[in-house]
Amino acid sequence: MAREVNEQEYRLIDRVTAGFNTIAAGLGRLKTGMTELNQTAELASKGLGLVVGAARGLGDQVKSVADYETAMTRIIERTQATREEQDLLAQAVQNAQRELGVTAAVSADALLRMVKDGFSAREAADALGTSLAFAKAEGVDAAQAIDGLGGILDSFNEKPQIIGQLADQLTAASRAAGTSTEALTDGLSRVGLAADESNVSIDQTLAYLSLLAKRNIEGTAAARQLVSIMGDFRDPASAAGKALDDLGLSGLNFDQIITALASNSDQAAKVLQTLGDRPRAALQ
């Protein structure tokens, strides 16, 4: 009986080590994959304007014109946009209509959503084309895409300037992990605060979520497991925190801990035993 228990423990350690190694090694592989897929996504987005632009309407209906004017007025008032910035906004709307076939009313609504989320007039104008191209490429509503990207930036306390890079990373990661950008967006938005407190960047968090997605743990469920694990690792009073302290791993950030545990199956087993069933399953 004792021999059977020991064999089961060794098998558990093997699975634990494999899980940690998968996450640690997969982070590097996914970053490489993102670079390659980003190049493909960039070429696809350039071609998108040629295809969709040919099908754009001849003009907005009266209601759409009114919606456009109302939204632009609110944007100008909210941002106190200068004449130069107003011209940039108008040009961004025209570019979206010409290159992506997006109506002026939809573009104005997207700009207003970004401004409400804290973007300046110039930042919103710069981000409009990339955000709408992302929505088109992923087949989601423009408002949904804008709100999702903005939610991630808010969650990680990041600047609007990275929105284009973020959209590219989401597209690349979804392709690499075989999941949807909606699931990754939802996960990032929910885990951002915990990740920020654990000194884990957006791209690192996205890599972890992508790896979990490959194991059919997605969206809210994936975020919940990551938040739980990060919190336990960060809290010195938790069972996991105490185990990390005993192993001399306290004070390291989440990524450093995962990397360290991946190289030591005994330590990995000790830490894993302190986690709840579902967080532990996410790492096995």
Closest to 100 (Cα-Cα) out of 56, 164, 163, 152: 56
Rounded Cα distance between 173 and 75, Å, is 33
Q: What is the DSSP string of 208-269?
A: HHHHHHTTT--HHHHHHHHHHHHHHHH-TTSHHHHHHHHTT-TT--HHHHHHHHHT-HHHHH
pLDDT for the residue numbered 54 = 31
Rounded Cα distance between 123 and 140, Å, is 22
pLDDT for the residue numbered 39 = 46
Low pLDDT (below 70) residues in the chain: 1-64, 276-284
Rounded Cα distance between 223 and 118, Å, is 25
pLDDT tens profile 236-268:
888 888 888 888 888 788 888 888 877 777 777
Phi (first) and psi of residue 198, to 5 degrees: -95, 10
Closest to 196 (Cα-Cα) out of 227, 172, 162: 227
pLDDT for the residue numbered 271 = 80
pLDDT for the residue numbered 129 = 93
pLDDT tens profile 182-227:
999 999 999 988 888 888 889 889 988 888 888 888 888 888 888 8
pLDDT for the residue numbered 131 = 93
pLDDT for the residue numbered 278 = 65
